[in-house]
Amino acid sequence: MSIYHDLIDYLKESPLIIQILWIMTGLFIIIIIFLIFRLRSLRKGLRSKGRTIALYEKKYEAYLLNYLYSESDEEISASQKVIISQLKKSTKDPFIRKILLSLLVKLKQEVSGEISDSVQRLYFQIGLVDYAVARLYHKKWYVIAKGIRELNQFQVKAAHDDVMMHINHPRREVRKEMQLYMVNLFHAEGLNFLAQLEMQLSEWDQIQLLRVLQQLENQENLNIKSWLKSNNHSIVCFALKLAEIYSDIESIDEILKLLHHIEQRIRVESIRVLSVLNAVQAKYILKADIESRSTEEQIAFFAMMENLFDVSDESFISAYVDHPVFEIKVSALKILKVINRAKFDALKTESTDPHFLRIITFIEKN
Amino acid sequence: MLNYIFQILIDLFHYLFLVYTVSSIAFYLILTAISELETREYKRKNSYVNYKEIMSSSKSPSISIIAPAYNESLNIVENVRSLLSNHYVNYDVIIVNDGSKDDSLEKLISVYNLVPVDLLINEQIPTMPLRHGVFKSTNPAFEKLIVVDKENGGKSDALNTGLNISTSEFVACIDVDCLLLEDSLQKMIKPFLESTDKIVIAAGGVIRISNSCIVKDGKLHDVNFPTKLLEQGQILEYIRAFLLGRMAWSRLNGLLVISGAFGLFDKKLALKVGGYDRNTVGEDMELVVRMRGYMEEQKIDYRVAYIPDPLCWTEAPDSYKIFISQRNRWTRGTIETLKKHRNIGFNSKYNLLGMLSYPYWFFYERMAPIIEFVGIIYFGILIITDKIRWDYAFSFIILAYLFTVVFSLIALITEETTYNQYKKKGTGVKLVKIAFLEPFVIHPFVLYAAIKGNIDYYFNKKKKWGEMTRKGMTKA
């Protein structure tokens, strides 16, 4: 007790700053103790949560397998009805609902055919679809995004309008889920959302949409031409990618117009796509004003020329063999080698620049 | 009169120390709070992203992994195998053998069936010449591998060679001994592709320490907590720096450094600003500052992204000698970069970069060891002259120590609630123990290395990179 009193006396007699420092020290000690216990409970909690999840997973996996593999003449057997009712009750608990959902998703990915249809049916029967639809009206963006993803995984086409209302959601994560839902479930038709999309379609979104589209068997009805006219530049970029992937020759006229688009990125991409589509008209348009275009466009044009040149381009190409931009120079030399070998060979003797000669030698060999 | 002036100076000195201490604590607290918010947001945003979706797309942008290697014969074959096992679809691996004196090249040639190839290189950045040339594999299984053998020119020179050779849109510059997780490239490329309002110029990832971890077939098999206090202390340091510090700077878009161990860059921009600076040992920080400076000057909206996922695991020094040498180099790198770009500091033309990031790095990273050292000297003088107020000194020291412990514990809790890499039973106690011991087993050596780094910078200009002896990761 005397030590305690001595400490109190010492503090009382100390200057104010010392008193504050010791109070803060005491506070920090309490915080440290709290943090240590918090860390301990977190680690313990995470371990026990893992165990609980494993336990529930085992229990509900058994239910699901019983449901899926029970045979009956009726549409739904008595034992299946019991399981449905039990699972329906369980879904009231959000923790169990989450486990059940992850089990169903896992199952859906692993099985196919009738069993997959049964999983889908069960999803509706135990009322999980209602929770997912309800999520679409939640205040928090990540709840909405998860809801859309779930509806996508279980192919709930009926939620189209509820999902569509998030087309211009301020969070890109929600928009991305909405877009994937549309394309996954409604295929090419699903892309009609592009007409109403006001926000930017990021490269990440575009790549994911393309991945889904490329998996589809029927790729008709893609309205590429109209998307190429969009005021939303990101949609134009996406349409250019589609035109390239699907070799959409019908879009060439529209893409030619994009050679004069206000955004450089679109002009460069258009040149690249026109090259892939072998659109010779583009060559003549670009040859006429190539000098006034940016370096990126010039590089893209010369890459195109490697694909679309003919003998009549010799004088034009010859003017670029000394171009300061490496890519342009290399392209011009490659073309010249094919068009006029003698002229190309003569360059070796005319030049003393070692860098230039290195390029010539490389092109000569390859 | 003289005494009076002297007393005023001493008082001023005291107040400066007080302001410095209080402001640094305030900064730490603010950064911690921002980090917590940002980490939570990141986890939420990425909790349901399926990274497998993007890696299978033929439209994924191309990435070159550039890994400079100097005398890495011991682990080079395994390291390359690890780099080749990435799940991203559109990438290649460029190993730049920077004039190694050992048999690194011979080993690579033999294991990966390499043959010399003729390659037209656009030398946009001057580098040391090639030695044995460029090699590619005859085995289609290793078609993504390019090995460049060149004269020794240092890490920056090797990275610049990689930049010249790469034909990809993005370059991931890494240390060859780093173990990249299979989905690391997908996660790193995401911010570049996701951003629609700003151009992402670079992205950095969290570096984790692989000492004592088990590696199988070039993949991280089992995460273990090392037994040496030095290694444990560095693990805590890395968690604190990457999960609290950098995460907050990322939120503020004020990140000045991307670890040289693993960073992804927009190649066109990296080339435009001239690539890595060969005259600094802090080339990773210097490039980011230069790229940021360029974007500010061009008045282009940009962002340096940061990925808190543990994507890259690297071997940390396990001896104090190597540890001090490494930290010495980091200090010199920071001084060199800040000095080279001093026009940015406190310059409103550079916005947040000039008015916040640079001043923070200058005062709380570059000056911190000097101020601490001066404080220790002053403390010693007061003891010798018997002018010390032990009641003040003692309470301040205790408080500073407890603050460090609190900060470390918050970092550990963040780690537990996010990535939870050290799951094994008993590790929790070790983590708490090292939070208490770190100020004794790590910090004094960091301070010593930083002071030595300052001395070397000003008085030993010839000093460049220190030696890093590799032991290699534990194989299963």
Cα dihedral angle (A15, A18, A24, A29), rounded to 10 degrees?
Answer: -130
CB atoms within 10 A of CB B342: 12
Whether A39 and B56 lie within 8 Å, measured CB to CB: no
Whether B392 and A18 lie within 8 Å, measured CB to CB: yes
Reduce the DSSP state of residue B121 to 3 states and report it. Answer: coil
DSSP characters over A233-255: HHHHHHHHHHHHHTT-GGGHHHH
CB atoms within 10 A of CB B300: 12
Cα dihedral angle (B451, B456, B458, B461), rounded to 10 degrees?
Answer: -160
**Whole-number pLDDT of residue B466:** 54
Higher pLDDT, A320 or A109: A320
Whether B59 and A46 lie within 8 Å, measured CB to CB: no
Q: Nearest-CA neighbor of B305 among B274, B338, B264?
A: B264
Q: What is d(CA B319, CA B366) in angstroms, rounded to the nearest whole number? A: 24
Q: What is d(CA B379, CA B387) in angstroms, rounded to the nearest whole number? A: 9
- The 10s digit of each residue's pLDDT in A283-321 is 999 999 999 999 999 999 999 999 999 999 999 999 999
Q: How many residues belong to chain A?
A: 366
**Whole-number pLDDT of residue A312:** 93
> Using an 8 Å Cβ cutoff, are B104 and B75 in contact?
no
Strand B262-266 vs strand B170-174: parallel, antiparallel, or unpaired?
A: antiparallel
> Using an 8 Å Cβ cutoff, are A265 and A291 in contact?
no
**Whole-number pLDDT of residue A1:** 60
> Using an 8 Å Cβ cutoff, are A221 and A230 in contact?
no
pLDDT at A105 over 80: yes
Interface confidence (ipTM) of the complex: 0.88
DSSP characters over B46-96: HTT--HHHHHT-TTSPPEEEEEEESS-TTTHHHHHHHHHT---SSEEEEEE
Nearest residue of B to residue A360, measured between CA atoms? B120
Q: What is d(CA A315, CA A335) in angstroms, rounded to the nearest whole number? A: 11
Q: Nearest-CA neighbor of A64 among A109, A100, A97?
A: A100
Q: Nearest-CA neighbor of B89 among B143, B163, B49?
A: B143
Q: What are the φ and ψ backbone dihedral angles of B276, each rounded to 5 degrees? A: -75, 145
Q: What is d(CA A255, CA A41) in angstroms, rounded to the nearest whole number? A: 61
Whether A362 and B120 lie within 8 Å, measured CB to CB: yes
Whether B395 and A21 lie within 8 Å, measured CB to CB: yes
- Among B402, B417, B419, which would you mutate to test the A interface (most chain A Cβ atoms within 10 Å of its Cβ)? B402
Whether A14 and B413 lie within 8 Å, measured CB to CB: no
- The 10s digit of each residue's pLDDT in A235-284 is 999 999 999 998 999 999 999 999 999 999 999 999 999 999 999 999 99
A241 → closest Cβ in B47, B59, B123? B59
Given CB atoms, is A365 within the 8 Å cutoff of chain B? yes
A207 → closest Cβ in B60, B123, B124? B60
Q: Nearest-CA neighbor of B162 among B278, B269, B258, B68?
A: B68
**Whole-number pLDDT of residue B108:** 96
Given CB atoms, is A273 within the 8 Å cutoff of chain B? no
**Whole-number pLDDT of residue B298:** 96
A20: chain B residues, CB-CB within 8 Å: none
Percent of chain A with pLDDT over 90: 72
Whether B391 and A43 lie within 8 Å, measured CB to CB: no
| Confidence band for A365, pLDDT divided at 50, 70 and 90 | confident
**Whole-number pLDDT of residue B472:** 57
**Whole-number pLDDT of residue A194:** 94
B28: chain A residues, CB-CB within 8 Å: none
**Whole-number pLDDT of residue A58:** 93
Read off the pLDDT of each residue in A115-142 and give the average, rounded to a whole number: 92
For A73, counting Cβ atoms within 10 Å of its Cβ (0-12 exposed, 13-18 middle, 19+ buried), the class is: exposed
Whether A208 and B54 lie within 8 Å, measured CB to CB: yes
Q: What is d(CA B6, CA A13) in angstroms, rounded to the nearest whole number? A: 29
Q: What is d(CA A62, CA A58) in angstroms, rounded to the nearest whole number? A: 6
Q: What are the φ and ψ backbone dihedral angles of A231, each rounded to 5 degrees? A: -80, -20
- Among B45, B46, B120, which would you mutate to test the A interface (most chain A Cβ atoms within 10 Å of its Cβ)? B120
Whether B118 and A36 lie within 8 Å, measured CB to CB: no
A327: chain B residues, CB-CB within 8 Å: 122
Report residue B331 as tokens.
């200090």
Q: Nearest-CA neighbor of B152 among B476, B471, B426, B464?
A: B464
A211 → closest Cβ in B48, B56, B396? B56
User: Looking at CA atoms only, how far is residue B48 from chain A in angstroms?
Assistant: 8
User: Looking at CA atoms only, how far is residue A68 from chain B in angstroms?
Assistant: 27
Chain A 102-161, residues with CB within 8 Å of chain B CB atoms = 142, 145-146, 149
Q: Across the 476 residues of chain B, what is the mean pLDDT of every consecutive 10-residue run?
A: 86 89 92 90 80 71 96 90 90 96 95 94 94 95 96 95 96 92 91 93 93 86 94 96 90 92 96 95 95 96 93 93 96 96 96 95 95 94 91 90 96 92 92 97 97 93 58 56
Q: What is d(CA A166, CA A77) in angstroms, rounded to the nearest whole number? A: 39
Nearest residue of B to residue A20, measured between CA atoms? B395
